[in-house]
A and B are shown apart, each in its own frame.
Chain A
């Protein structure tokens, strides 16, 4: 289930389950979004991105959904594995001109075997 921990929301799933991680972004003008995975002791790692002219994009075992009406992103991970345990961040920016990434707070995913 999903719970709000002391610092980070945490999602606990069983190996093999599908996971859905949600993100509410802040700037209605943002039109480019990226999901990052951060494992303990490492920097964030790019997973998948999506532009605002799309509402869904699929990668290997991952799907990102974008709902611009309610400023919401989700990351779906199919057949979650213990190696997927990490903190997941969404980041937003503007695709045109110079724009830097604004990261969300993150969600910790815990996968038990």
Chain B
């Protein structure tokens, strides 16, 4: 196990609602990255937080936002949910904030938007 935990494990929402997903990083790590993984696809980078600041963002609209807290845990918020937001959301913790340091993934939160 990586020591990265995510909550909740599963979530069902309806279109237009808002959702908050949570991630606790591995001890000693100061960086958290979030990914969206659609069924049958590889993870797609959403954004990365390093020392409480967003330091990189993928091709996702502003309704995807995040936070990192002083203990380096993190939240992913998605507003105005769309059906296509249904996916597995993965968080990965690491040390360094360069974008490509070895990342340790949590088990993910599976979001279903109806």
Contact = CB atoms under 8 A, between A and B. Distances in A.
Interface stretch (A14-22, A76-84, A100-108): A100-108
A104 B108 CA distance: 18
Interface string A29-62: 0001010000001111110010000000000000
A43 B107 contact: yes
Interface residues of A, number: 27
Nearest to A42: B107
Given A7-B40, A43-B2, A95 B100 contact: yes
A44 B56 contact: no
A107 to B, nearest CB: 10
Given A43-B2, A43-B4, A105-B42, A98 B107 contact: no
Interface in B86-109: 90, 92, 98-100, 102-108
A102 B2 contact: no
Nearest to A5: B40
Contact of A101 (B39, B45, B104): B45
Contacts of B55: 98
A101 B103 contact: yes
Interface residues of B, number: 27
A111 interface: no
Given A8-B40, A43-B106, 20 more contacts: A7-B40, A7-B41, A32-B100, A41-B107, A43-B92, A43-B105, A44-B43, A93-B99, A94-B100, A95-B100, A98-B99, A100-B33, A100-B58, A100-B99, A101-B43, A103-B35, A103-B43, A105-B40, A105-B41, A106-B40
Interface of B: 2, 4, 33, 35, 39-45, 48, 55-56, 58, 90, 92, 98-100, 102-108
20 contacts: A6-B40, A7-B41, A42-B108, A43-B2, A43-B90, A43-B105, A43-B107, A44-B43, A89-B43, A93-B99, A98-B56, A98-B98, A99-B100, A100-B58, A100-B99, A101-B43, A102-B45, A103-B42, A105-B41, A106-B41
